[in-house]
Amino acid sequence: MHLSDIHFGQEKDGGTDAANADAKMRLIEDARVQVGKLGCTANGVIVTGDIAFSGQEHQYAMAAQWLAQLTDAIGCDRTDVQMIPGNHDIDRKKITNTIDSVLFSIREGGDHWLDRHLDNPGDCAALYGRFDAYKGFALDYRCELDLNGGISKSARLDLAPGRAIRFVRLNSALICSGHPEEGKLILGARQRMLPIDVGVENIVLSHHPLNWFQDSDKARGYLRGRARVFISGHEHFPNLDIEDVEDGCQVMMLAAGATAPDEVNEKFTYKYNILTFEWDEQQDALAVTVDPRTWNPDMARFEHDDAFMDGRQERQVLASPNFHDAPIPASNTPESEVTAELVEEPSEVRPTEDALPAAQDDTSATAPPIAGAEPLAGTATEPEPEPTQDVRDLQLRFFQTLSEGERLQTLVKFGVVAQRHGGIDHAMERRLFRRAIRQGKAAEIRQMLDATENGKGGSSK
């Protein structure tokens, strides 16, 4: 499933709210039917930015409820969502005059000026502070935002033995400010350096199309040499192009229409795509099937977008050099050796609990160490183990059901953190949650969430 520009929180009046809500529910039902016709369940959802309308936490709470219904309908785990931020995922209230001036200087100074600010911890924190609500939301879907101008953690999907695709997540909105910006944005060298591996074809996700970047020529070179598909949103109007790079190498450029455009009219309406990625054994290539879905106002439902396809075949087999450079999979390889699920690729080493700063309480400058922590097997630089899917689902509920204050009270109650004066950042809060899980608190957390959701009239999974 591919969505873009959902814009939760954009509704200006009750009528628009009702129309958008209805279309989003029809989308879920249409997706359920169309995926069912394929005789399988979906592996996940791609959202190419603008999940919220103005980067506010309550807008992400609405998005979370809707995404839960969508993922349930198409049969994938609720956390199997690949997302990237768009310009509407920025909290524009945090664009002060100073920040606006910094963004202007970066756009004028280009790559060098961007790197200069990214290399300064204070400047870097200020740039990413505009994404605070998005950062916490994305963490629950394993889409952690890189906070130093680089590519965010990627996810991989095996198609056959020795043949996989990698979803590469870019933050194209890093220097967005709200001013006219076409041709002025910068991806930067840290995001242009796409990974390349034999047997793996890259699917690059960017909210903005290439024409919005002043370093688009440099970015295009890396895309042509290292990517097989480039998926974008932002312009609210769909487009599909297959570029012949050289003999044995092609790139698909897929621009999405808006799932919920600012205005619904003759040009812009509700749209989404169903994408199928598979290995074409005969040509040893990546095959991408695009089923574009569009709103038919005459029937008030989603239908196949014949106008968008314009007579083209839905299934496109792309010349894939990274597949050709790998050994050909044995024809008798058991299908059980292929993991048909999204797998997060290893990221840089993260601090474990021993590296957590001491919490501060209301009465002293320094709180006692976090109570009840079990000893760790390794050092403070040992990567945190990957949680099970059950833990991921429970974490998603925990952070989307409870307010920040309620979560902190719960962590204090379970003894994984001392009473703290003020808040704690998203990443630390999630590590503390997982500490509670390792201390055997999962059942208590689940019971508490059930009671809270029932009290709010919600539903649990």
Residues with Cβ within 8 Å of 346's Cβ and at least 6 positions away in sequence, in order, are: 383
Structure tokens at 315: 């299934």
Q: How many CB atoms lie within 10 A of CB 409?
A: 13
Element housing 408 (H / E):
helix 404-413
Q: From CA 320, how far away is CA 84, in angstroms rounded? A: 25
Question: For the chain, how are helix, strand and coil distributed in percent, rounded to 5?
Answer: 35, 20, 45
CA distances from 227 to 166, 209, 221, 344 (A): 9, 15, 10, 18
Per DSSP, the three-state class of 354 is helix
Query: Element (H or E) spanning 101, and its range?
Result: helix 97-118
pLDDT tens, the chain, 461 aa long: 999 999 999 977 888 899 999 999 999 999 999 999 999 999 999 999 999 999 998 999 999 999 999 999 999 999 999 999 999 999 989 999 999 999 999 999 999 999 999 999 999 999 999 999 999 899 889 898 999 999 988 899 999 999 999 999 999 999 999 888 899 999 999 999 999 999 999 999 999 999 999 999 999 999 999 999 999 999 999 999 999 999 999 999 999 999 999 889 889 999 999 999 999 999 999 999 999 999 999 999 999 999 999 889 999 999 999 999 999 887 655 554 555 667 777 654 444 433 444 443 333 333 333 333 333 333 344 456 677 888 888 888 888 888 888 888 888 888 887 765 566 777 788 888 888 998 898 999 999 988 888 876 555 45
- Dihedrals phi, psi of 195, to nearest 5 degrees: -70, 155
CA distance 73 to 384: 31
| Phi, psi for 25 (deg, rounded to 5) | -70, -35
Per DSSP, 434 falls in state H
For the chain, give the number of residues.
461
**Cα separation of the two ends of the chain:** 21
